[in-house]
Structure 1
Amino acid sequence: MTRSWWGWGNVEDAVRGAELDALLARARALAPGELTDHEPPSIASLGLPASRISAPAALAALCSADPGDRAAHAHGKAFRDVVRNLRGDLRHVPDLVARPRGERDLIDLLDWCGRDGIAVIPYGGGSSVVGGIEPRFADGRAAVTVDLTRMGDVLQIDPVSRAARVQAGVFGPRLEDRLRPHGLTLRHFPQSFEFSTLGGWLATRSGGHYATLDTHIDDLVESMRVVTPGGVGESRRLPGSGAGPSPDRLFLGSEGTLGIITEAWMRLRERPRWRARASVRFADYGAAVAATRAVAQSGLNPANCRLLDAAEALVNAGVSVGGGVLVFGFESADHPVRASLDRAVEICRDHGGEAPDGPADGDPGDTWRSSFLRMPYQRDALARHSLIVETFETACTWDGFDRLHRAVTGAARAAIREVAGDGIVTCRFTHVYPDGPAPYFGVYAPGRWDGLLTQWDEIKAAVSEAIAANGGTITHHHAVGRDHRPWYDRQRPGPFAAALTAAKAALDPAWILNPGVLLPDAHLSGHA
């Protein structure tokens, strides 16, 4: 398979043929008229600037200045990244892509970059959707992207404690392949699973498909090892500890700004043997939300619990419903789960939900799951045809959901009307907690090829302001990056910002690690 340099996933899996025809037919219902295709440019036509730096002789074999390498590592996989790639707009590209084979290589790379003031961008699978891996600096300094995928193995498995020592550069499928013969699994499946790495999950506090209990990668960490310009640190393997602030928590979610995670001991579980799932339809959205909250607070802890509003159900599950569809499922390695499923369905029926008594053809949950796997590829195909197709996510408490939902959908629709004239806003819950949901919104609107970025940026800014003003978090699992920085700065407490700045100065004295992510660029703020 060939990885796409400009868009999502593998070139061979791109939307084409009958799938593309059907997708464009649905798009024309939203944006009547011709939808002109824009072919991605060739690497040779990009005219990338020559690398401004050369690696020392001892590191030269690790580093690549190949234009294809540099282009593929320039952007993440957000809508705005895809559009810029399609337009050949690669203003910020790494000067070199380095692939260390182990920690010694990594330490030597950091020493060189620290001496010469070269920015370092830690890179796993490159699936960031928030500008987290883009060498976008106000001062335009040289940058080395450090790709960790050569450090991608499972080093040790402890079946007694059910844990594994794993290198940060391992991709999701390889990790699961190594665990499967032992009857174990990490059971962490973000949408980017096939194209993202353990280190990326840890650095961004990734959220997986589990909708309750262990929803974030944080919950699965036993210990971590991190290489920083100031030294190498490794936490002790323990099931839990009250010995002061957690060292792992400092680096989880640090997005490569404090150090580079090289390996971790991860908590595993037995592979599930029993599964059961159902879909419940609601005529009223308020009743659907209330039922979802009741299930989340019931202690049943479904593995999957996604509420699709009417627009999401229609667009991505092909179901016409007045209020929404709640898709949930249970699984266990220890016992049958049918009783839990039946109780969850009973709760939903108490709130006016309608569920079939047995398996039904054309289950909306099955349709939505299939659509979910194709969404990023379909997004790329629509972007090529000047459609605005993107998502944003947050989390809030149950008591504040109605207010936040009204504010965010209202802001999104108003911005869409302003920049595009018409469009659709959808909402689904990706995760649910006893104290609140994680709403995930989608935007579908007609765009102008020469104005797609401006149009989306205006919509994104409007919804981000609504989230910040109505009690939500600027991100539940997409990370901060450079794109969310303005709202993250407002969300975090002032004393914590000061502590994070001090930690950055101690661990990365030259401020070379991912400048501009989480904290202001030191070269502009005077910290360096």
Structure 2
Amino acid sequence: MTAMKWWGWGLDGVAFTHEDKPELRGFIREKIGLDIGQATAAPLGFDELAIPDAHLPDGLRAALAGAVGSEHLSVDPLDRVVHARGKSIRDLIRQRRGDLPRVPDAVVRPADEAQVTAVLQAALEADAVVIPFGGGTSISGSLEPEATETRPVLSVDMGRLDQVLEIDAASRLARVQAGVFGPHLEEQLNAQGYTFGHFPDSFTHSTLGGWIATRSSGMQSDRYGDIADMTRGLRVVTPSGTLVVRPVPSTSTGPSVREMILGSEGRLGLITEATVHVRPLPQRREILGYLFPTFDAGLAAMREIAASEASVSVSRVSDAPETQFSFATRKASTRMDKVQSKALTTFLQRAKGFDLGSMCLSFLGYEGSDGHVTEQRRIVGRIVGRHGGICIGTSPGQLYDQKKFDTPYIRDFLLDRGAAADVSETAAPWSQLEAVHRNTSAAANAAFAQLGVTGYLMCHLSHSYHAGACLYFTFAFVPSPGGDMLEEYDVVKQAIQQAFVDNGATLSHHHAVGTEHSQWLEEDISAPGVRLLEALFDGTDPGANLNPGKLVGGAGRAATEPAR
């Protein structure tokens, strides 16, 4: 898999464009006062970057080369910069500015678990820092070395561990190496008639190990589960040896070690292999579009679907601002499209009494046999109707399905035009979702007003559960004249995150903690919960060699203790 751009999302030559979306330019100008007609900003050129020199002691260099082969040990400046951070908006802003206080001293690419073990042993003996690297898609600050770190820093790129090793057909379990990227995983499974069914926004550029280390969720988690539900067995190289979690369906062997690894962000070891649930490829797959008169009506419908006998693969409903943005991103319409759109608008207003300014777009997905999908559509259709919604067919769902991995490219597009855009997501019980949506929206708008900027906030519900659902917020703004983009971003981001925990929601549903969200962790899991994590990390990694400073902890021992 080719590495992503050092300054942005995705591959060189792939970018978001407004040229084929005739309504988008006017929409963004109206909402945040930005003309996106042409780029007004750009990242520094790579040759303009002040990249810290690599400091790799000769003994450590020799040990790493012996472990993986010299051709798989890199101190190339571009390689080191690509592996220095993830892809949060903070990461992108700082990369584009050339703000590189600390980058890895080397990138190491092991090919199997034995080589991973040798790499970690060499790092421990040299008192070096080890940061596991999957695809580099983290948006929570999980990959950056601490700025004060004085020890050698190694980025261990797991991309060579990319094979499906075995499929247990009777148990519907697959043994898979942790460095496999989403598309390659699906290719290997599909060739044998299976799917993993895990499709996060970052799917094309993220890995199985990264999903596990950050407790990822996919767009079809309603059917397949979150990564925590799908992961049964694990192999993890730790300072005290290889941790093995057997893939049993359930166990009562004390506190769950499997759960300790899930979401551990490299603090407990390097995940080399996982045994995961797989399912036969579905006979039929559909995603349908629906419209609801209001967001509250859409929430109520999703709640009833979650409590019903229906089994959907996707449950998503956008609030009115996000619905309006979605409509503004449509490509140029044909004459027939315009006729159909006008007819639908007339019907909604006259027959259904919709206020088009409050209307909300929804997508619901179905998978399985023909009979199963037909029955699920019937059950869901009745529920949607009870909440004033209507089905608008397969075309919107097909477009959503085709474009679902393109969204992250929009951040680079807006940065090139002087605007910041980011996301924050949370989860809460059904009874609190409306309040979380209302109060978070109010907090973000108050932050925009405090800064004196015109911002735009939108939200959708996704990932429905028995007791609640995820709310996924997106916001964008142009910094105030003379204002610093990163400082003003922090004002908005902190307002949103604080509203989450103040309203009984979690600090993150699937984007992990890292350093970006760690200040809210105690409010989320309580002070004793933080102490438990600190004890777990300190007991497993007493030298603070494994990705120090993530989730909990500050500057790490390197600032206060001599090297061993």
TM-score class, shorter: over 0.9
* Residue 394 (structure 1) aligns with: 426
User: Which whole-Å deviations, capped at 9, do the CAs of 1:93-125 have from their partners, x for residues lacking one?
Assistant: 111111112223222222232233322111100
User: Which whole-Å deviations, capped at 9, do the CAs of 1:461-503 have from their partners, x for residues lacking one?
Assistant: 1111111111010000000001111101321233333332232
Q: Does 1:59 align with 2:95?
A: no
Q: CA deviation at 1:21?
A: 8.3
Q: CA deviation at 1:434?
A: 2.1
Structure 2 Cα separation of the partners of residues 168 and 161 of structure 1: 20
* Residue 379 (structure 2) aligns with: 343
- The letter of the residue matching 1:470 is N
> SS of the residue aligned with 2:291?
strand
Structure 2 Cα separation of the partners of residues 211 and 425 of structure 1: 25
Query: Would the alpha carbon gap of residues 334 and 247 (structure 1) be closer, same or farther in structure 2, given more than 3 Å must change?
Result: farther
Preserved CA contact (<8 Å) 1:229 1:509:
no
Q: Matched residues, percent identical?
A: 35
Structure 2 Cα separation of the partners of residues 420 and 118 of structure 1: 45
Q: Does 1:405 align with 2:406?
A: no
* Residue 523 (structure 1) aligns with: 557
Superposition pairs of residues 200-279 of structure 1, within 5 angstroms: 200-279=210-289
Q: CA deviation at 1:386?
A: 1.1
Q: CA RMSD in A?
A: 2.4
Superposition pairs of residues 341-490 of structure 1, within 5 angstroms: 341-356=377-392, 359=393, 363-447=395-479, 451-490=484-523
Structure 1 Cα separation of the partners of residues 187 and 391 of structure 2: 36
How many residue pairs match? The answer is 524
Structure 2 Cα separation of the partners of residues 17 and 307 of structure 1: 24
- The letter of the residue matching 1:394 is T
Divergent runs of 4+, >6 A: 524-528
> SS of the residue aligned with 2:407?
helix
Q: TM-score, normalised by structure 2?
A: 0.87
Q: CA deviation at 1:460?
A: 0.6
Q: TM-score, normalised by structure 1?
A: 0.93
Structure 1 Cα separation of the partners of residues 20 and 98 of structure 2: 26
- The letter of the residue matching 1:523 is R
- The letter of the residue matching 1:502 is A
Deviates more, 1:206-215 or 1:509-518: 206-215
Structure 1 Cα separation of the partners of residues 61 and 103 of structure 2: 20
Structure 2 Cα separation of the partners of residues 20 and 381 of structure 1: 14
Structure 1, unmatched stretches of 5+, are none
Structure 2 Cα separation of the partners of residues 221 and 419 of structure 1: 44
Structure 2 Cα separation of the partners of residues 30 and 96 of structure 1: 44
Query: Would the alpha carbon gap of residues 321 and 298 (structure 1) be closer, same or farther in structure 2, given more than 3 Å must change?
Result: farther
* Residue 196 (structure 2) aligns with: 186
Match of 2:525 among 479, 487, 492: 492
* Residue 75 (structure 1) aligns with: 85
Preserved CA contact (<8 Å) 2:50 2:98:
no
Match of 1:331 among 358, 367, 371: 367
Match of 1:46 among 46, 49, 60: 49
* Residue 295 (structure 2) aligns with: 285
> SS of the residue aligned with 2:251?
coil
Query: Would the alpha carbon gap of residues 148 and 277 (structure 1) be closer, same or farther in structure 2, given more than 3 Å must change?
Result: closer
Query: Would the alpha carbon gap of residues 16 and 274 (structure 1) be closer, same or farther in structure 2, given more than 3 Å must change?
Result: closer
Q: CA deviation at 1:334?
A: 7.7
Q: CA deviation at 1:248?
A: 1.1
Structure 1 Cα separation of the partners of residues 493 and 506 of structure 2: 14
Q: CA deviation at 1:251?
A: 0.5
* Residue 537 (structure 2) aligns with: 504
Structure 2 Cα separation of the partners of residues 346 and 164 of structure 1: 37
Preserved CA contact (<8 Å) 1:396 1:472:
yes
Structure 1 Cα separation of the partners of residues 403 and 447 of structure 2: 27
Deviates more, 1:5-14 or 1:446-455: 446-455
Structure 2 Cα separation of the partners of residues 334 and 241 of structure 1: 36
> SS of the residue aligned with 1:12?
coil
* Residue 10 (structure 2) aligns with: 9
Query: Would the alpha carbon gap of residues 294 and 41 (structure 1) be closer, same or farther in structure 2, given more than 3 Å must change?
Result: same
Query: Would the alpha carbon gap of residues 32 and 287 (structure 1) be closer, same or farther in structure 2, given more than 3 Å must change?
Result: closer
- The letter of the residue matching 1:327 is F
Deviates more, 1:338-347 or 1:15-24: 15-24
Structure 1 Cα separation of the partners of residues 387 and 537 of structure 2: 50
Preserved CA contact (<8 Å) 2:521 2:530:
no
User: Which whole-Å deviations, capped at 9, do the CAs of 1:188-208 have from their partners, x for residues lacking one?
Assistant: 111111100000011111101
Q: CA deviation at 1:22?
A: 6.7
Superposition pairs of residues 16-27 of structure 1, within 5 angstroms: 16=17, 18-19=19-20, 24-27=25-28
